[in-house]
Structure 1
Amino acid sequence: MRVNYEKCQFFTNQIEYCGYIIDKHGIHKTKAKMEAICNARTRSNKTEVRAFVGLVNYYSRFLDNPSTTLHVQFKWDSQCQKAFKKIKDEIRSDRVLAHFDPTLPLVLATDASPYAVGAVLRMLIQLRPMYGYA
């Protein structure tokens, strides 16, 4: 591995890396990616819906039950519009993924549907999500 010192940051309070902002509080979404998702127009065909799901999937760790929200059969109706709006509203939230603290108890919540399985590992500090998988 090679390190490019010009790209390194030392003694900083936060860093932006791969579409995330990482600081002492946890992992945050970047405004640019959130705006791209929140300003997305309603999709009119399957290809456009897949593109939107791909964009949202990047931040799926911040979403509650993304597998059931994102995997609806395609026929744009009121249910699709509701799921589309819900995803955009959740992306706008100020949810932060917490850093792991080995001194705190953990809660593992799991979910399954006919389409997928998911899990969220939470620490018992205001039950903030630490990691999600879908």
Structure 2
Amino acid sequence: TYEKVFECLKENNLQLNPSKCSIAHSNIDYLGYAITEKTITPLNDKINAILKLSEPRTSKQANKFIGAIAWYRKFIKKFAEVAAPIHAVTNLTKANRQKFRWTKDQSAAFYELKKMLTTAPLLLNFPDDSRPIILSTDASDYGIGGVL
């Protein structure tokens, strides 16, 4: 099927840079993930960088943490609900950012998100055609979400 890909590229006047191509690999690291035929998992060095972050003491640090862990939100069940206390202090208006207060609610969310990022089941597998596909949805006062 490589021929079909190359034919499609040629028909659309698209070119590949061979030095930037990876062809016929069984796994690849891409955008913070290790991707195989059957799974997508976060790269260990990216997860370890998040785990090494200490509890935020400033709005900037809280934004750094929530931004880093949000990259993996699709793999963490009920992410929006668990992260809501942190979002409450990171979504302050510019005028209120100096009023940053990190409370026990934010602390609990911080440690829970770290735990969820490193505890099975992370939602990391591609669909298995031999098993039924189940859609799980959830809604709360903090957000809505679904997992297929």
TM norm. shorter chain > 0.5: yes
- 1:115 & 1:79 partners in 2: Cα distance? 14
Q: What is residue 11 of structure 2 aligned with on the other side?
A: none
Matches within 5 A, 1:33-112: 33-72=46-85, 73-74=88-89, 75-93=101-119, 95=122, 97-112=124-139
SS of match in other structure, 1:106: coil
The code of the aligned residue for 1:56 comes to: I
Please list every run of 5 or more consecutive structure 1 residues that lacks an aligned counterpart in the other structure.
122-134
Q: What is residue 5 of structure 2 aligned with on the other side?
A: none
Q: Is the 8 A contact 1:63 1:91 kept in 2?
A: yes
Deviates most, 21-30 or 90-99? 90-99
Give 1:19 shift.
Answer: 0.9
Give 1:20 shift.
Answer: 0.7
- Rate the CA distance shift 1:116–1:96 in 2: closer, same or farther, 3 A: closer
Please list every run of 5 or more consecutive structure 2 residues that lacks an aligned counterpart in the other structure.
1-13, 90-100
Q: Is the 8 A contact 2:74 2:123 kept in 1?
A: no
Give 1:76 shift.
Answer: 1.8
SS of match in other structure, 1:21: strand
RMSD: 1.8
The code of the aligned residue for 1:120 comes to: V
The total of aligned residue pairs comes to 121
- 1:48 & 1:115 partners in 2: Cα distance? 22
Structure holding more strand per residue:
1
Q: Is the 8 A contact 1:26 1:96 kept in 2?
A: no
The equivalent position to 1:12 in structure 2, one of 5, 25, 49, is 25
SS of match in other structure, 1:71: helix
Structure holding more helix per residue:
2
- Percentage of pairs with the same residue: 26
Give 1:52 shift.
Answer: 1.2
Higher CA-based Rg: 2
Q: Does 1:120 align with 2:133?
A: no
